[in-house]
Amino acid sequence: MTTARQQGISAMECFIENITHIIEARGISQSELARRSGISIPNMNRILRGKEGVTLERAERIADALGKKLQDLLKIPANVA
């Protein structure tokens, strides 16, 4: 199994790419994801643009809001693998 590091991408890039894919596929806005996860809209926007890091607690809240396990959001996205 190839790791994200071996692919030359960071865990944060995987996290962002996977979230973006899920919300686009489900038709969920960043604002709605922010509301569901209890994160402010500006902070969610910065997280998804890679301009702000994310704590483990926030990452878990985002995963929960999407009905996913955090480990699933950290996997190498299919379009990169």
pTM summary value? 0.86
Task: Name the fold adopted by 9-73.
Answer: 434 Repressor (Amino-terminal Domain) (1.10.260)
Domain boundaries, the chain: 9-73
Query: Token pair for residue 51?
Result: 């301009």
DSSP 75: S
* CA dist., res. 56 & res. 78, Å (int): 23
For residue range 14-65, list pLDDT tens digits in order. Answer: 999 999 999 999 999 999 999 999 999 999 999 999 999 999 999 999 999 9
Residue 3 has pLDDT above 70, yes or no: no
